[in-house]
Amino acid sequence: MSHTKSHSRLDRELAKRRNIEYDIHHKKQALRASNKRIEQIKGECDIIITNHALLRYAERVLNIDFEEVRKAILSDEVLRLYKELGNGKYPNGTYHVVIENNFVKTVI
């Protein structure tokens, strides 16, 4: 390979590297700006308590036995109705249990 061709290839590779370095520099700047906006937004937000934390608090601090709660929601009568009728809203004392595709969706 001639000296000129090697020099030309080297110039192309160096130009590619400069372009990549330029892109990396600008992406790092954009990332820093994005991180700064995230931190600002976090500072504006209230702390969110997850449902998992609420459940664990009720279970561990309030000593609520969720197995008993499950049994109360999915009473024998509600289970019988669901097995007989399928998806639906079933009465259970003073509330209704909504079941869809083997999942209790809500209690109303």
Condensed to tens digits (0 to 9), the pLDDT of residues 28-83 reads 999 999 999 988 888 887 888 999 999 999 999 999 999 999 999 999 999 999 99
Check whether residue 31 and residue 72 sit in a common domain. Answer: no
Give a yes or no: residue 58 inside a domain: no
Check whether residue 43 and residue 81 sit in a common domain. Answer: no
Q: Are strands 95-100 and 88-92 parallel, antiparallel or unpaired?
A: antiparallel
- When pLDDT is averaged across residues 18-28 and rounded to a whole number, the result is 95
Check whether residue 71 and residue 102 sit in a common domain. Answer: yes
Q: What CA–CA distances, in Å, run from 34 to 10, 25, 37, 63, 86? A: 36, 14, 5, 43, 49
Check whether residue 1 and residue 40 sit in a common domain. Answer: yes
Q: For residue 1, give its domain range.
A: 1-48
Give a yes or no: residue 57 inside a domain: no
Give a yes or no: residue 55 inside a domain: no
Check whether residue 37 and residue 78 sit in a common domain. Answer: no
Total domains in the fold of the chain:
2
